[in-house]
Structure 1
Amino acid sequence: MAVGKVTFTKVEREKLAEVLWLLNWISVLTGATLFGLGLFLKVEIQKWQEVMSDQGILYVPHTLITTGLAACCINFLGARICLDCTDTNKFLRWKLVMMPYIVCTFCFTSCVLTGALMCYSIRGQLEDSLFTGLRNAMRYYKDTDTPGRCYLKRTVDLLQIQFQCCGNTGYRDWFQVQWISSRYLDMTSSSVVDRLRSNVDGRYLMDGVPFSCCSTSSPRPCIQQQLSNSSAHFNYDQQSQQQNLWRRGCRQALMDHYTGIMQSIGLTVLLIWLFELLVLTGVRYLQTAMENVLRLGDPDSESDGWILENSLAETARSNFNVIKNLGKCYQVDDDPNINVPTATAQQEVPSQQVQIPGTS
């Protein structure tokens, strides 16, 4: 029994073809939207790629860009096909193309859904990438003279100023790395030498942070040095000075930034997927209805359209049998002489004895 069977008159088939023609042109615009969203997401990710350890997350915008281009091409062809389906004679030109077109549209629609789901499932991978990337960026913050790392200081400072954050998970992360270059340390000072010797790795660690961690809403000049020593500053309370430094970590700030973008893009892509699914369903009804008209031989008669000609179980079973039996028609026996009569067999064939009447 057919799934989703609907009967169409000639006028209804023509109206359906015209509506699908319009929807396919709208789908071309939605494909351009997918392309634009993917491009925007790629630019946003590459903007802070220096503080990310894994660039594999770029597969999400690449999927959206590829899907958007495919949508523009497929729906442009679909608009032409649906316009010709208003006439039975013109439909004959596309009869053999319709089924491959529907299969390609189904695959493209599945990719749209995959892209929407990836926007929500990438959070864990993005968080790990930011955690490792920010940790390495802070470690190489001082290496302004090292090729490949000379711009990390500028990137981290811009990040902390723009997103009003400090460190990886908080400002205390700067206490665990040497963020001041050795070229700016006075090696003749005993305090500097003692601090270097007190660390196993020979790093110059201090309870201070870069200037970019200073809060612009602080009511007093920013305190960057000796943050753990309250007696080193006048009228300073470490616990109550919440406005002196940015308290939020940059990983959380970037996660909030990208999560908002991903959720907005994911919702938009999901709506596009529902729209494309509607168009795909309409094209399938139009295809089956027009094919049934050709079988009936009367262009003005009513015809049935459906999503599946048989039930889901029967369709799955028939497809499984097609795949199972695929290639059997090309199989040949290994013995090239099979079914070829030999000379010995021909000699063993008994000759017929003809008996003449009147003879014994």
Structure 2
Amino acid sequence: MCKCELEERGRRILGLFLCLLDGILALSGAAVAALGLYLNFHLESKMQFLAGYDTGTVPSFLMIVGIAMFISGSLFSKAAFDCAYPDSRGRFQSFLIFFVAAKFVLIWVVFSASMMCFAHRSVIEESLNNGLFSVLKLYKKDLELKILIDKLQMEYLCCGSNNYEDWFKVSWVNEDFLDVEDENIKSKMQAGMYMGHDVPFSCCHIYTYRPCVHSNVTKGTRSKYTPTLNTRGCAGILMDFFESSILEPAGVFILMAFFIEILSTFLARYQQTCIDDANLMEPTGPGTACLCPNIGTGDAMKYVKREEKFKEEAE
């Protein structure tokens, strides 16, 4: 099945090309591990906004896959290089079949890492939506969270979780700083909490010439004031950042490594079967490379004919 006969020169070229592919995979593994660290850094920095999310699961898996790719790629690259030359072939020759098996397993590990990157958007998005809205409720109670929310809204030009109207649904103004005797304030008090159509100053759009109106953004005048506010929610903007800057590029990159891993596995199988076949008669002589040696019809007299040919040449 998919057989071809290679001379010693063909095996050398195959080995060197396989060495190059495995070297690329080793470097790709280092890049995948770095992507895992990069994702972990950004998730940890936003962990206060992620509800019920384990920030270490995907980054840890990417780092493990990357390290496995780097170590295996480095080892397989060295083995392919040594097996390209008869003098050094004996170092790894007996292990080639195990390397091929390990490569086959690694193919699906790499594929799983790629699919995890593509599929993980929905998990992070749900955690962001739930977490951000919950954090808004703590704005007036936790100074550290208040600073984080303000920085987030100013840095990413966003407001609220889904949009700026999320602030209308929570009591984010500390009542201790309000004149609760004022009739206007009284009309907005519900169960002892101030519930007005206001948003924090950090929701103001920094690239507008108009004075920012972030208080009394009422239903009747909302269209007049919204141009001065960031209208996009922080959950969507953060999700766009994670998807377009980390998850999607990482998924595409790892998927490319997956296809290179498949090609490398097929070529490693060809190299292993060709070397084993040549060793049956003459290690530096021609050998048949194939994916499945025992499948399909072959020439049962090949080795007898080859031995007769060597005898005739010797005579």
Using the size of structure 1 for normalisation, the TM-score is: 0.76
Letter in 2 for 1:162: E
Unaligned runs of at least 5 residues, structure 2: 297-315
1:104 aligns with 2:102: yes
Name the SS for the 2:103 alignment partner. helix
Partner of 1:254: 238
Quote the RMSD (CA, aligned, Å).
2.2
1:49-88 residue CA offsets vs partner (Å, 9 max, x unmatched): 2111133354222222111111111111112211221344
Name the SS for the 2:111 alignment partner. helix
Partner of 1:280: 265
Partner of 2:46: 48
Partner of 1:211: 201
Taking a change above 3 Å as real, the CA distance of residues 309 and 182 of structure 1, as seen in their structure-2 partners, is farther
How far off its partner does 1:217 sit? 3.0
Taking a change above 3 Å as real, the CA distance of residues 108 and 163 of structure 1, as seen in their structure-2 partners, is same
Mapped partners of 2:79, 2:207: distance in 1: 62
Name the SS for the 2:279 alignment partner. helix
Partner of 2:112: 114
1:142-161 aligned at under 5 Å gives the runs 142-144=140-142, 150-161=143-154
Moved more, 71-80 or 90-99: 90-99
Unaligned runs of at least 5 residues, structure 1: 145-149, 231-236, 313-360
Mapped partners of 1:44, 1:5: distance in 2: 49
Mapped partners of 1:33, 1:87: distance in 2: 30
Letter in 2 for 1:255: M
Which structure dedicates a bigger proportion of its chain to helix? 2
Name the larger-Rg structure.
Answer: 1
8 Å Cα contact 1:35/1:66 also seen in 2: yes
1:208-239 residue CA offsets vs partner (Å, 9 max, x unmatched): 00001111233321111111165xxxxxx432
1:32 aligns with 2:30: yes
1:193-208 aligned at under 5 Å gives the runs 195-196=188-189, 198-199=190-191, 202-208=192-198
Mapped partners of 1:254, 1:103: distance in 2: 41
Mapped partners of 1:191, 1:18: distance in 2: 80
Mapped partners of 1:307, 1:151: distance in 2: 61
Partner of 1:91: 89
Partner of 1:239: 223
Correspondent of 1:302 among 286, 290, 311 = 286
How far off its partner does 1:174 sit? 0.5
Partner of 1:293: 278
Mapped partners of 2:164, 2:154: distance in 1: 13
Partner of 2:6: 8
1:219-230 aligned at under 5 Å gives the runs 219-228=209-218
Mapped partners of 2:55, 2:108: distance in 1: 20
Identity of aligned residues (%): 27
Correspondent of 1:73 among 71, 76, 80 = 71
1:269-319 residue CA offsets vs partner (Å, 9 max, x unmatched): 111222222222211111111111122x2123221112223459xxxxxxx
Using the size of structure 2 for normalisation, the TM-score is: 0.86
Name the SS for the 1:224 alignment partner. coil
Mapped partners of 2:91, 2:4: distance in 1: 24
Mapped partners of 1:121, 1:311: distance in 2: 38
